[in-house]
Structure 1
Amino acid sequence: MPTLVDFATTGAQFEIPEFENPTDAISSVKFSPYSNRLLVASWDKHVYLYEITSGVGTLVNKFEHRAPVLDVCFGKDDDEAFTCGLDWDIRRLDLTTGTQTVLSTHSAPANRLVYSNARSLLVSTSWDSTLHFHSPSADQNPASLTLPSKAFSLSLTATKLVVAMASRALHIYELKNLQLLLSESSATQSAMSTIEAEPWQRRESSLKYMTRAVACMPNDAGYASSSIEGRVAVEWFDPSPDSQARKYAFKCHRQTENGSDTVYPVHALAFHPVHGTFASGGGDGIVAIWDAVGKRRIRQYHKFPASVAAIDFSTDGKFLAVACSPGFEDGKDFVAEGSVSVVIRELGDLETQPKAPR
Structure 2
Amino acid sequence: MSQAKEFELAGPPTDGITRVAFSRTADPLLIASSWDRHVRLYDVVANQQLARFEHRAPVLDCCFGEDQRHAFSGGLDRRVRILDLTTKDERELGKQDDAVRSVVYLPQAQLLATGSWDKTVRLYDTRAATAETSRTEQPAKVFALDAAGYTLVAAMAERHVHVYDVRNMSEPMQRRESSLKYQTRAIACMHDGEGYLSSSIEGRVAVEFFDPSPKSQARKYAFKCHRATVNGVDTVYPVNALAFHPIHGTFATGGGDGGVSVWDGMNKKRVTMWTGYPTSVASLAFSSDGRHLAIAASYTYEEGDKDHPPDTIFIRTLEDSDIRPKRPAPGK
Using the size of structure 1 for normalisation, the TM-score is: 0.88
Q: Distance in 2 between matches of 1:353 and 1:342?
A: 24
Which deviations, in whole Å up to 9, do the C-alpha atoms of 1:296-320 show, x marking residues without a partner?
1111102211101111111111111
Contact 1:326 1:334 in 2 (8 A): no
Contact 1:159 1:220 in 2 (8 A): no
Contact 1:109 1:126 in 2 (8 A): yes
1:62 partner SS? strand
Of the three residues 109, 133, 144, the one matched with 1:119 is: 109
Alignment partner, residue 348 of structure 1: 319
1:51 correspondence with 2:22: no
Q: Distance in 1 between matches of 2:276 and 2:252?
A: 14
Residues 197-208 of structure 1 mapped to structure 2, 5 A cutoff? 197-208=170-181
1:167 partner SS? helix
User: Alpha-carbon deviation of 1:138?
Assistant: 4.4
Which deviations, in whole Å up to 9, do the C-alpha atoms of 1:115-165 show, x marking residues without a partner?
012211001111110112101124554131111111110000013100011
Q: Which runs of 5+ in 2 are unaligned?
A: none
Q: Distance in 1 between matches of 2:307 and 2:31?
A: 23
User: Alpha-carbon deviation of 1:330?
Assistant: 3.3
Q: Which residue identity is paired with 1:38? A: L
Q: Which residue identity is paired with 1:41? A: S
Q: Which runs of 4+ in 1 moved over 6 A?
A: none
RMSD: 1.4
Instruction: Go from structure 1 to structure 2 and tell me whether the alpha carbon gap of 1:327 and 1:334 turns closer, same or farther (over 3 Å shift).
Output: farther
Residues 18-57 of structure 1 mapped to structure 2, 5 A cutoff? 20-34=11-25, 35-53=27-45, 56-57=46-47
Aligned length: 327
Q: Which residue identity is paired with 1:12? A: K
Q: Which residue identity is paired with 2:146? A: S
Identity %: 50
Q: Which runs of 5+ in 1 are unaligned?
A: 179-196
Alignment partner, residue 108 of structure 1: 98
1:303 partner SS? coil
Which deviations, in whole Å up to 9, do the C-alpha atoms of 1:192-227 show, x marking residues without a partner?
xxxxx1111111111111111010011111111000
Contact 2:180 2:206 in 1 (8 A): yes
Q: Distance in 1 between matches of 2:150 and 2:260?
A: 29
Alignment partner, residue 2 of structure 2: 6
Q: Distance in 1 between matches of 2:269 and 2:48?
A: 35
Residues 180-191 of structure 1 mapped to structure 2, 5 A cutoff? none
Alignment partner, residue 77 of structure 2: 87
Q: Distance in 2 between matches of 1:258 and 1:170?
A: 37
1:177 partner SS? coil
Alignment partner, residue 267 of structure 1: 240
2:44 partner SS? strand
User: Alpha-carbon deviation of 1:170?
Assistant: 0.5
